[in-house]
Amino acid sequence: MSNATERLMAMFAKQGPNNVVTGIDVFGFVQRLILFDECIIASVWLKDVQLLLSMVDPGAFCDLLDTGALRFYIDSATTAEIGQARHDMNIMVRGKLPKRLDDHEFDFATLRGHNDADKVRNSLSEIARSEILSQSMARKVTERIEAALLEPKGLEVIAEACKGFYSELRNDESITLKEMISDKLRKLGQKPKGLHFKVEEFEREEFRVHSNLTTKFGLSSKTARKLSLDTMMELVSVYTTLSYMREFSCVLGTEERVQSAWDLKADSLIRSLAHESQNRTAQFARVAKIAGVGEDQLVQSGRIDLDRLLTLRQSDELASFRSWLRSAESKSDKDIRERVCSIRAKIGSALDSKTARAIRFLITQAPGAIPNPAVAMPLGMTVSALDSFFLERIAPRDAVFSVLLRDYPALLR
């Protein structure tokens, strides 16, 4: 398979009302074949391909298909908002016919035509009967196109996209939708200062928008709904684009109408990733300094114990420490100091040292020296149970203490 950056999926059909193909982007078609090793054409029931066949030599077109330069993808699966239409259209939601939603409430669904396969077969038949091709050439072209058709994956792709979309709507920390709404308000000539926009999931996968679009910005209820819906559908489109990229290992052409949303979300993703990296590093430095093992407290030996580092990376303790570190941002210095320097943590780690384990081993084995089994066995079981209880409940090994005050300094000393 080609490198993902050398593989492009995009439309080249020009569409009019009701998605009727009115022409093709000839320049785009040629340029993409020049710039990419492989092009996946998101075709509109092969109507665009039929127009293309009238502009090219059919034999050369077959040769092009034989090189693997072109693939065709046809799928009617899409995401739609059905909140105000589901009752009238008799769309069942979770086994029942729901009520219509209000202007500020939304319900999204994945839709797909029931006759996709029949429509593709009919389009292939039309090409096979084309009057501009000889019978043998029409058959040859049809066979090549059919062989180049990719399996429709729309339902799976959109299901994956919706996971990300719903996660975004449920995330109280996300500001992507607010930024997108702000951008739309600017285009309407309004300054978005003081904008309030939050999304609530009031039923499973049913969302209610709380905003001041009508009260502060003077939009009607219908206009506010359209603004909110357009924004959310653009965000769905961004997640769908990302899902198609992953599914087909390709670059995906974006439509101009969602370019702004894509730019905002891409910026958000980059900021999020950068923030995660910087934040995690900063939190570790903060915690280490509080624990007394900051960079200025460590001896600069110029060497790193990679064997110990590899062992640490594979340990459950490090996984526990990373999980705790993610929550450290919301903790005060006092809380962290108590956590990493507590007597309980120190005792737990000390009791699990090699020396302590050796001493405990001798203690637990001591009953075995008693010659009378009737006394030795119950006593041994009691001592072992007390030892395990003390270690696990009274002074357990503390992952945060162990990683920060034992393993981390040892890597650099």
The 3 state secondary structure assigned to 349-386 is: HHHCCHHHHHHHHHHHHHHHHCCCHHHHHHHHHHHHHH
270-284, 309-323, 382-396: segment of lowest average pLDDT: 382-396
Asked whether residue 168 carries a pLDDT value surpassing 80, the answer given is yes
DSSP state at residue 304: -
> Going by DSSP bridges, is the β-strand pair 78-81/105-111 parallel, antiparallel, or unpaired?
antiparallel
DSSP state at residue 331: S
Q: What is the mean pLDDT of the chain?
A: 80
- Secondary structure tally for the chain: helices H, strands E: 17, 10
Asked whether residue 285 carries a pLDDT value surpassing 60, the answer given is yes
pLDDT in tens, 12-61: 899 888 889 999 888 888 878 887 889 899 999 999 999 888 888 889 89
Residue 139 has a pLDDT of 95
Residue 273 has a pLDDT of 43
